[in-house]
Amino acid sequence: MTHDYLVWGTVDTMVSAYKMMDEKGDIVPDVESQVVVRRMLTALIRFFADNELLKVKPFDADGKLIDRQYFRSEFADEGIALIKRKESAWLDSKASKKNPPDMKILEKALAEIRTGK
């Protein structure tokens, strides 16, 4: 039996980690970075949902993200393979920061996974 470990934390938790120091030396939210990170993570979750890589529905009936944690058991095997193969590379890429985020890196890797490459 596999351990059902945490794969992704909530978007709000990840976004709230982006902070900066203001001119007074106080730590404050880095709002600009938070907007980019929220857009990027929402696009990542939508990609996984649209490609049936998640076993749960991450968006409500109105298309709004349900901010929650995601565990191993909630991912298809292809989803876990994609995370292992390309998720961190995509998150670190300029493509993920675009508006809207460019998903080509993930699309290519998923196609390779699905064709057995």
* CB distance 86 to 104 below 8 Å: no
Q: Is the pLDDT of residue 20 over 80?
A: yes
Reported as a pLDDT band with limits 50, 70 and 90, residue 117 is: confident
| CA dihedral for 109, 112, 114, 117, sign (positive or negative) | negative
Reported as a pLDDT band with limits 50, 70 and 90, residue 25 is: very high
Considering the chain, what is the average pLDDT of its residues? 95
Q: Is the pLDDT of residue 1 over 70?
A: no
pTM for this prediction: 0.91
Q: What proportion of the chain, given as a percentage, has pLDDT over 90?
A: 96
Mean pLDDT across 61-67: 96
Q: Is the pLDDT of residue 85 over 90?
A: yes
